Amino acid sequence: MRADAAVWDVARPARPSRIAGVGMAGFRDRGTGAASGQRAVPHPGVTLALEFGAGPLIVDDAAGGQRRGSLVAGLGFGLGELWVRGENFEAVQVRLSPLIARAILGVAPVDLVGTVVPLGDLWGREAERIRERMAETSSWQERFALTDLLLARRHETKASVDPEVAWSWRRIVAGRGLVRVDELAAEVGWSRKRLWSRFRSQIGLPPKLAAKLVRFDHAAHRLAAGEGAARVAAEVGYADQSHLHRDVVAFTGMTPATVAGEPWLVVDDIAWPAVAGG
């Protein structure tokens, strides 16, 4: 992936994860020394980055905050303006469905919304031991296998969310965000208030905002593929082009035309051929 002076190599696992709702990709900076990095575009997943290269992975936010090394970002990649950079870094990035995030990370997705936290804050010394083991591997496929084994060991066999919440999330993802909260509540036999409360506490976002994020993700990738904003708005479920514009600005701070040219979305189709949303 190339943007300005930044050049990253991207690797994919030879086989899918043994855990449903997990997607992985590997990223390596070629040592070009680019300072600006890549703007992260929100997506409907929780992010775990396992960094192990010679230089640190760095994430900067709009408020001037900075995180280095292995990290975890909440659903929607923090739902704010973030820039990812670093020189000579290598990392395995994992996208987790919010349905399994708590079991693997040990923290509820709702506690991660709007934040990017160092992995060491969640896993303690284990985070450094993982970094050392990753650095000892000689190939991306070994790193993916090691990561998958790690995730499997941390993953609990019991469900981490209510069946009704899991079903509602899957309906939102399958419908690309075009679902109504009152319909979801009726279908699972809950009140709207109960669904809102349980969904938010277990997924991280209220169901309506989660649906907007899923719809935005679909629209953003179609824009990046070269489709016009008017067509995307009409076919993705927005009331009109202005509605699409408002959502894109709300999630990214950019216009649809600017989002369409973001390298972050271009690499998605290479690194993430399947959505880890179920």
Do 40 and 138 fall into the same domain?
yes
Model confidence at 98, pLDDT cuts 50, 70, 90, reads very high
Model confidence at 5, pLDDT cuts 50, 70, 90, reads very low
Asked if 60 contacts 82 with a C-beta cutoff of 8 angstroms, the reply is: yes
Query: Higher confidence at residue 156 or residue 45?
Result: 45
pLDDT at 56 over 60: yes
CATH of the domain at 110: 2.60.120.10
Integer Cα distance of 149 and 51 in angstroms: 17
3-state secondary structure of 73: strand
Domain containing 209: what range?
163-271
Residue that finishes a domain, picked among 114, 134, 154: 154
Do 213 and 75 fall into the same domain?
no
Integer Cα distance of 151 and 155 in angstroms: 6
Integer Cα distance of 229 and 251 in angstroms: 16
For 206-225, the pLDDT digits (tens) are 999 999 999 999 999 999 99
- Confirm whether 19 is domain-assigned: yes
- Confirm whether 53 is domain-assigned: yes
Structural domains of the chain, count: 2
For 213-269, the pLDDT digits (tens) are 999 999 999 999 999 999 999 999 999 999 999 999 999 888 999 999 888 888 777
| pLDDT at residue 276 in the model | 40
- Confirm whether 193 is domain-assigned: yes
For 102-156, the pLDDT digits (tens) are 999 999 889 988 888 999 999 999 999 999 999 999 899 999 999 999 999 988 7
- Confirm whether 278 is domain-assigned: no
| pLDDT at residue 2 in the model | 45
Place of tokens 């992995």: 119
Asked if 224 contacts 240 with a C-beta cutoff of 8 angstroms, the reply is: no
- Confirm whether 276 is domain-assigned: no
Do 184 and 267 fall into the same domain?
yes
pLDDT at 177 over 60: yes
* Mean per-residue pLDDT, 79-87: 76
pLDDT at 22 over 80: yes
| pLDDT at residue 277 in the model | 41
Do 31 and 71 fall into the same domain?
yes
Do 126 and 235 fall into the same domain?
no
pTM, to two decimals: 0.90
- Confirm whether 95 is domain-assigned: yes
Do 8 and 131 fall into the same domain?
yes
Closest CA to 38 of 93, 113, 75: 93
Do 115 and 201 fall into the same domain?
no
* Mean per-residue pLDDT, 74-103: 85
On average, the pLDDT of the chain sits at 88
